[in-house]
Amino acid sequence: MTNFIEVNHATKSFTMQYHRSLKQIALAKAKGLPTHDEFNAVDDVSFTVAQGESIGLMGLNGSGKSTLLKLISGVMRPDSGTVLTRGRIAGLIATGAGFDMQLTGRENLWLNAAILGMTRAETQRKFDEIVEFAELGKFLDTAVTYYSSGMKARLGFAVAIHVDSDIFIADEALAVGDRPFKRKCKIKMDEIRDSGTTIFYVSHAPGAVRQLCTRVLVLDKGRLTFDGGVNEGIHFLKYDDEEPGEVDADDGLGADI
């Protein structure tokens, strides 16, 4: 089967500054103290994803999940190693990503569609479907700067979900918005998966990962520590050892559907 994502020894480093002003930096140097440090957000990671696979990327906060997602989407390039993808990529990396806050929802719809590679004719054909999915109503012609985080998420997801893509990526896309919108997103994500599109989904919610994904990757401090079955990956993270009374908000989503 054809690989749609190939990550080979990918590493992405960042510099962490300990001081902000020149005065603080000068004083630290005079005292022999460090002024900055480098760390690998993604550290020598390798894996492949075949066409049609649904991957759940999991890990604790700060493990490098979002950075890896940006490498796969092409927003960032690795400092070493390679990240290769095949076909058109669409998805939602962050709420409001790619939006111009001074433009209206309607204008940002066209802008986001163009960024994701949709032609004008394609956007025009799907415009009404996108608007209906976003549920913005009279706020469609309001500047996005006045939108709530949920409204921006609905608009961003509505555009991304209607792109004819080979790879669909999402960073906690289903975790933002009210419950009815989550249900609608889940149904649409199932349709995308069942159509044979390759899915790469970042989530902390074991329920959502179980429902959507067929394989789990786990990152820990930038390194790939697990690659295998969904239940095994969730157990590896100890996400199935919930405290008594603790509820995973997404676990109940499927039951409602």
Ordered DSSP codes for 36-53: EEEEEEEEEEEEEEETT-
pLDDT at 54: 94
256 has a pLDDT exceeding 50: no
Give the pLDDT band (50/70/90) at residue 241. Answer: low
pLDDT at 126: 95
Give the pLDDT band (50/70/90) at residue 246. Answer: very low
Strand segments, DSSP code E, in the chain are 3-17, 36-50, 54-58, 80-85, 89-92, 167-171, 198-202, 215-220, 223-228
pLDDT (tens digit per residue) in 21-61: 776 667 766 777 666 567 789 999 999 999 999 999 999 98
Which residues make beta-bridge pairs with 143?
104
191 vs 185: CA distance, rounded Å: 10
177 has a pLDDT exceeding 80: no
Domain extent listing, the chain:
1-86+197-257, 88-165
How many beta carbons lie within 10 A of that of residue 120, not counting itself? 10
Q: What mean pLDDT do residues 148-172 have?
A: 86
Q: What mean pLDDT do residues 179-196 have?
A: 85
247 has a pLDDT exceeding 60: no
CA atoms within 13 A on the CB side of 84: 12
Which residues make beta-bridge pairs with 104?
143
- Write b or e for each residue in 240-255: b if 16 or more Cβ atoms lie within 10 A of its Cβ, otherwise e: eeeeeeeebebeebee
Handedness of CA 159, 164, 167, 168 (dihedral sign): positive
Q: Tokens 């415009």 — which residue?
A: 127
**Topology annotation, domain 1-86+197-257:** Rossmann fold (3.40.50)
List, edge to edge, every strand of the sheet that includes 3-17: 36-50, 3-17, 80-85
Average confidence score pLDDT of the chain: 84
Q: Are 7 and 81 in contact (CB under 8 A)?
A: yes
pLDDT at 128: 94
Region of poorest pLDDT, from 12-16, 72-76, 223-227: 12-16
